[in-house]
A and B are shown apart, each in its own frame.
Chain A
């Protein structure tokens, strides 16, 4: 099977004034379809930079990056935009939804930039289906400010799915959420992963990382650990436990 992501000796150097910051120092990595990977590390470890490169938001200064069989390290801005549109879905820590725009329209956004245009009714259908996947079809006409944090993140996930990308990238997706909502969102990711979607997630929370299948730890721009998750948490079970605990408290 071909890897979704194949990184070979990726380097990234920032030139900020007099000092060159060597943020990523020769990372090689292969991620297969259907994997669910957490990239962890302290701040400054280069995980965000690596994520931006994987997400085609940024280009490496050296090395080769193949995404879904395409060498993207040499693509120009517009070609990278098309890759982001077609092959990658983004979920951000801050949700990054358009304000004063309904959940449905937010979900439709990536379809507006497709090279093959879709008729309006098809866009609506696709967007509604994506919202159904994250369990938010009933709130399609709500604006972000009428939704809770968890619901906003679900809209963002629906948006990331709508163009049926090969890869879903989540940058600290639970960073702005409370623990129960975080588990719910991880549940959504697990469900999507079970359907075969490859997910890469950046997080610094160990417990969140244990919902994934593979943990990669970065330090100073290098991978220092790459392990399969031994005791994988299942969001449904954890939520069940949490509910029981809450009931116990109420009963007591």
Chain B
């Protein structure tokens, strides 16, 4: 019998007991629906985290100062003051596959302008900073290498700072005062939003690191070094090269610094949602199994009820194979249709939950595929035994079944 005709036959058989078919599908619908909803929400969250991690910059390796120990008291990360601009220059000069380096100096300070003031993060960076952070300029331009060398009093400000200090006018070309030192605003960064840790990235003022160290914070060490690697494949190699280089430069047995990659940050940030996904997948497979048992149960009932029909079909020439396929297709139709409805309801539910809780949603196509295939598989597995039982009936017994 042709497969299309068999499917039509199956649909008709299922339509005869609409309520029963619906109830049977419910297990699969709930199983698939909950998986799709959960996956949509967790992948949305994961995608958001990944976006935020990549917003940290393209292929970025960060060097942080290590902790120090003084008289048994251990300082936290960044306590040590050994990371210098020279280290940054040495990294750029000696480590292969590096595109850009920015020694970073960070400090919170009050910024004054236009009769207003605002407390913000003052960042000392190299001119490569926007490139490393994958950050577009809104208006104006980034300061230059020349500005770094001349310890220029120029600044590039974030959107939030611009809005706070120059609410109704263009900040470009204006002057902001940091510690009473006037800095000319040469550029305004494009809005970037919140980072992985919920901080407003636009709430910042970026000045040349030399100006920061000599004029603002009066420090000789840097807070961290940002290194951009040429390609993602070389990140691990660059990480270990920097490690080796700085170890020899600092002549220390225990490294007084750490080299972190974006990847590690991303892993930390997404590990919890991965655990969540595994848990959900486990619950989902349990509900699929339960749904499958429901289908098997109903198919067994159906085979018994339709024993005489099976007998008639066999009498007029249906082979065991024909009967097997007929009931198998019925079971698969039940489960596959349940799966499709489940996918639809799952996507719908995810969007409703997301819009209520203001979360991003993303339903990966692969999960829709996985859900459809696994529900069809559930149909095949749970439908096989009843269908096989039907196909093995004796035509005479089946015909005389009351």
Contacts and interface: CB of A to CB of B under 8 A. Distances in A.
Most A C-beta atoms less than 10 A away, residue of B5, B395, B396: B395
Contacts of B311: 96
Contacts of A57: 315, 395-396, 399
A198 interface: no
Given A57-B395, A84-B316, A113 B322 contact: yes
Contacts of A82: 317, 319
Contact of A90 (B16, B315, B319, B322): B315
B207 interface: no
B172 to A, nearest CB: 75
Interface residues of A, number: 25
Interface in B346-402: 395-396, 399
Interface string A67-88: 0000000000110011011100
A232 interface: no
Given A98-B309, A100-B16, A109 B316 contact: yes
A84 B312 contact: no
A90 B316 contact: yes
B312 A85 contact: no
Contacts of B399: 57, 92, 96
Interface string B141-177: 0000000000000000000000000000000000000
Nearest to B312: A96
A91 to B, nearest CB: 10
Nearest to B391: A77
Contacts of B2: 117
A96 B310 CA distance: 11
A25 to B, nearest CB: 19
A173 interface: no
A110 interface: yes
A86 B318 CA distance: 11
Given A52-B396, A81-B320, 15 more contacts: A55-B315, A57-B399, A58-B396, A78-B320, A82-B317, A84-B314, A85-B316, A86-B317, A90-B315, A90-B316, A100-B16, A110-B316, A113-B318, A113-B322, A114-B317
The 5 closest A-B pairs by CB, nearest first: A85-B317, A113-B317, A110-B316, A81-B319, A78-B319
29 contacts: A55-B315, A57-B315, A57-B395, A57-B396, A57-B399, A77-B319, A77-B320, A81-B314, A81-B318, A84-B314, A84-B315, A84-B316, A90-B315, A92-B399, A96-B315, A96-B399, A97-B312, A98-B309, A98-B312, A109-B313, A109-B316, A110-B316, A112-B1, A112-B5, A113-B1, A113-B313, A113-B317, A117-B2, A159-B316
Interface of B: 1-2, 5, 16, 308-309, 311-322, 395-396, 399
Interface of A: 52, 55, 57-58, 77-78, 81-82, 84-86, 90, 92, 96-98, 100, 109-110, 112-114, 117, 159, 163
